[in-house]
Structure 1
Amino acid sequence: MKNIMLVCSAGMSTSLLVTKMEKAAEEKGEEVTIFAVSEAEASDHFEEIDMLLLGPQVRFLKDKLEKKLDAYHVPVQVIASVDYGMVNGEKVLESALEELSDY
């Protein structure tokens, strides 16, 4: 089971994307837990995640979070703006799972 955390500024704008990603995972038979938190809450979950996805609006946090998550061996990826805007859960999930398989 993989745990994927999405981070946005308030933790709200990613909730619909999480729902779409969960649906895509179910359809593909992937066992993943996907949840969203605000930037302020992110560090509370570092020990329990396998992947961190950043909403495009907080892409500026990527370098900082990569340094913090290096010790946990957790990749950090910025969600493509078009996929985020279109709430394309399937595409975002595919991208995350591909990154995880390469990591």
Structure 2
Amino acid sequence: MTKTIMLACAGGFSTSLIVKHIQAAAAKEKLDYKVFATAAVNAEEELESEHPSVLMLGPQVRYMLPDLKKQLDIPVQVINMQDYGLMNGAHILHDAMKLMGDE
């Protein structure tokens, strides 16, 4: 079963770019993950419809972390600000993999 990595940020635009970098890093390592991004305002409905394995938050919505950790039964983490700024898809992918127990 393919695992799903969901990214959420303020508008969904910056994380959409990061999704491409994560997908490229996963392809390079021959890993099969579904990766998608959404705006934080849509996160709840995306969580219900997509059932992701892990949720990674953009640094600008880190305030959502405590509530989401209480509500969800999947790992939730804020993306490292430096990795986010540099769009380091490989680092973000490996952080997500650790949270899912795949590394």
Q: State the TM-score, normalized to the length of structure 1.
A: 0.91
Deviation at 1:45, TM superposition (A): 2.1
Alignment of 1:53 with 2:56, yes or no, is yes
1:75-86 aligned within 5 A: 75-86=75-86
Gaps of 5+ in 1: none
Counterpart code for 1:87: M
d(CA) in 1 for partners of 2:75, 2:99: 8
Deviation >3 Å, runs of 4+: none
Distance 1:66 1:29 in 2: 30
1:22 lines up with 2:3 in the alignment: no
| Count of aligned pairs | 99
SS at match of 1:36: strand
Q: Partners of 2:16 and 2:46 in 1: how far apart?
A: 17
Percent of residue pairs bearing the same amino acid type: 40
2:98 & 2:30 partners in 1: Cα distance? 15
Give the TM-score normalised by the residue count of structure 2: 0.91
CA distance in 2, matches of 1:46, 1:67: 14
One-letter code aligned to 2:66: D
**Aligned position for 2:70:** 67
Alignment partner of 2:25: what SS? helix
Where structure 2 has 5 or more consecutive residues not aligned to the other structure, the ranges are none
How much has 1:99 moved relative to structure 2?
Answer: 1.3
